[in-house]
Amino acid sequence: MAFFATGPGRRAVALATVSSPREPGPVGAAAVRSALPASSYPIERTRLDNGLRVLLAPDRTAPVVAVSVHYDVGFRSEPEGRTGFAHLFEHLMFQGSANVGKAEHPKHVQAAGGIFNGSTHPDYTDYFELLPAGALELALFLEADRMRAPKITRQNLDNQIAVVQEEIRVNVLNRPYGGFPWIKLPPVAFDTFPNAHNGYGDFSELAAASLDDAEDFFDKYYAPGNAVLTIVGDFDSGEALTFVNRYFGDIPARAVPPRASFAEPVPAAERRAVLTDPLAPRAALAVGYRVPDPIADLPAYLAYYLLTEVLSDGDASRLERRLVQKDRSVIGVSTYLGAFGNPFDQRDPLLLTLEARQSEESSADVVLAAVDEELARLAGDGLEDGELERVQARVASSLLREADDALGRGLAMAVHELHRGRPELVNELPAELSAVTGAAVAAAAGSLLDQGRSVLELHAGAAS
């Protein structure tokens, strides 16, 4: 478990041609046309009487089926004093249910030739299987059984507390750069518990988790009306809905908690913190910048998505050329949106994060000064000729690759439904990206200079 078509069943790719004007830049470019390929996968939607949202995307091109259930709860929703509880509960959901014994869920899936997993994110938790098409009914039975009644026992809770604590030892405490920056940067950038706390969990708070905590968490957040069931692949929609109603239809409806707002003001002044990692071989730097609300203002947010590509994706990117190739002040640099680098995983507020591993001769201030220079140059001079089209094509290609896989498509559809009520964004995002102008990307770069960034310096233990 991690912490983290033109006709029925036919896959189609079309060209989404959208005007993409460019402001006059150093090359005096006029308005151009940008054509990005876009998918047209069929999506059917329904809702059961108990509130469960169901997405169906039949695709007969491969004899497999992907099933996922996304619950509208992540580690930003866990109660104060119970850090890591959302992830802990994800583990509990694999410990058996009313009609499935302990450890039998994985055995059933693997015996059918499938794979499974689950993951916890800031704003949702998902569970999924990818199986041969003939095993669809099995997957739906398994997911419905644990939605109805997972085995929440003291023995299971204690066992999974120990498992999660061991994950923390392996992935954070005993690993170089463990938790950097996704655990360590939020306390610098944010003030409130939901945004700033450690989603993996504090050992003592994990150990203090009670059965009442687990039962309350299940009752509050794991109601059918707080979930999205997604089925993608080789299946008949009528038969699939028969299975869905058979296994999910009589799960009792429960009240759904109102969606919380985690809003915080954008910092006006720089925030800075330093930590020492005794296992790290060299110093590192993480910088967080606030970006627009990805739900309320998707077009503005997409400009920052393309900005991350302009800054650090590939040898031709701005910071790769400046910091790695020219200055040699870092050995690697990346910029990304959201805690885990998926730009559509998270609601507001979230960060555009710059992460770099420094060379032995450089300092954090040298790197930061160079980053500021490149942002100012981008904001003032605009994009180079062809730069916007290159990054738009790269992003569209990545989205198409993700959607080409039944499981990847299903997970993306479910998140778009959960966050925006628009699973169709799987098909629409290339056109949305085509509409982003070079001027918008340049303005996004300038906005990063106008706010109080959050800086986290990591000092290598050997150098301290």
Please write down the HEC assignment for all residues of 404-454. Answer: HCHHHHHHHHHHHHHHHCCCCHHHHHHHHHHCCCHHHHHHHHHHHHCCCCE
pLDDT of residue 19: 30
Residue 364 near residue 274, CB atoms below 8 Å: no
Distance CA 402, CA 411 (A): 10
Fold of 265-463: Cytochrome Bc1 Complex; Chain A, domain 1 (3.30.830)
What's the pLDDT score for residue 436?
97
Gap between the Cα atoms of 206 and 301, Å rounded: 35
Radius of gyration (C-alpha) of the chain in whole angstroms: 23
Residue among 159, 196, 234, 178 at smallest CA distance from 76: 196
Q: Which residue has the tokens 């009313």?
A: 98
What per-residue confidence (pLDDT) applies to 347? 97
Structural domain spans, the chain:
44-248, 265-463
What is the CB-side half-sphere exposure of residue 47 using CA atoms within 13 A? 11
Q: What is the sign, positive or negative, of the torsion defined by CA atoms of 237, 240, 246, 250?
A: negative
Residue type, 429: L
Please report, in tens digits, the pLDDT of each residue of the chain (464 residues total). Answer: 564 432 323 233 333 333 333 333 333 333 334 468 889 999 999 999 999 999 999 999 999 999 999 999 999 999 999 999 999 999 999 999 999 999 899 999 999 999 999 999 999 999 999 999 999 999 999 999 999 999 999 999 999 999 999 999 999 999 999 999 999 999 999 999 999 999 999 999 999 999 999 999 999 999 999 999 999 999 999 999 999 999 999 999 999 999 999 999 999 999 999 999 999 999 999 999 999 999 999 999 999 999 999 999 999 999 999 999 999 999 999 999 999 989 999 999 999 999 999 999 899 999 999 999 999 999 999 999 999 999 999 999 999 999 999 999 999 999 999 999 999 999 999 999 999 999 999 999 999 999 999 999 999 985 44
Residue 299: asked if its preceding bond is cis (omega within 30°), the reply is: no
- Nearest of 80, 463, 76 to residue 283 by alpha carbon: 463
Could you tell me the CA-to-CA distances from 445 to 280, 311, 359 in Å, in that order? Answer: 31, 9, 25
pLDDT for the residue numbered 38: 87
C-alpha 253/C-alpha 49 separation (Å) is 8
The secondary structure of 230-250 as a DSSP string is: EEEES--HHHHHHHHHHHHTT
Sequence-ordered list of residues with C-beta below 8 angstroms from that of 463, at least 6 positions apart, any chain = 282, 283
Distance CA(42)–CA(11), nearest Å, equals 8
d(CA 230, CA 234): 13
Confidence (pLDDT) at 13: 34
Pull the structure tokens for residue 349: 């507020």
Q: How many CB atoms lie within 10 A of CB 398?
A: 12
Q: 420: closest CA among 408, 434, 432?
A: 432
Between CA 217 and CA 79 the distance in angstroms is 9
DSSP 289: E
In this chain, the answer to whether the domains covering 44-248 and 265-463 adopt an identical fold is: yes
- Report the alpha-carbon distance of residue 50 to residue 60 in Å, rounded: 30
The beta strands (E) that lie in 170-260 are given as 227-233
Q: Which CATH class is domain 44-248?
A: alpha beta
Residue with tokens 């390929």: 37
DSSP conformation letters of 107-148: HHHHHTT-EEEEEE-SS-EEEEEEEEGGGHHHHHHHHHHHHH
Q: How far apart are CA 60 and CA 67, in angstroms?
A: 15
Q: Is the peptide bond before 349 cis (omega within 30 degrees of 0)?
A: yes
* DSSP three-state, residue 80: coil
Burial class (CB in 10 A: 0-12, 13-18, 19+), 9: middle
Nearest-angstrom CA–CA distance, 452 and 266: 7
The pLDDT, as a whole number, for residue 392 is 96
Determine the Cα–Cα distance for residues 2 and 126; give it in Å rounded to an integer.
10
DSSP-derived secondary structure letter, 169: I
- Whole-model pTM: value is 0.91
* Alpha-carbon torsion, ordered 136, 140, 143, 144, to 10 deg: -170
Check residue 461 and give its pLDDT. 84
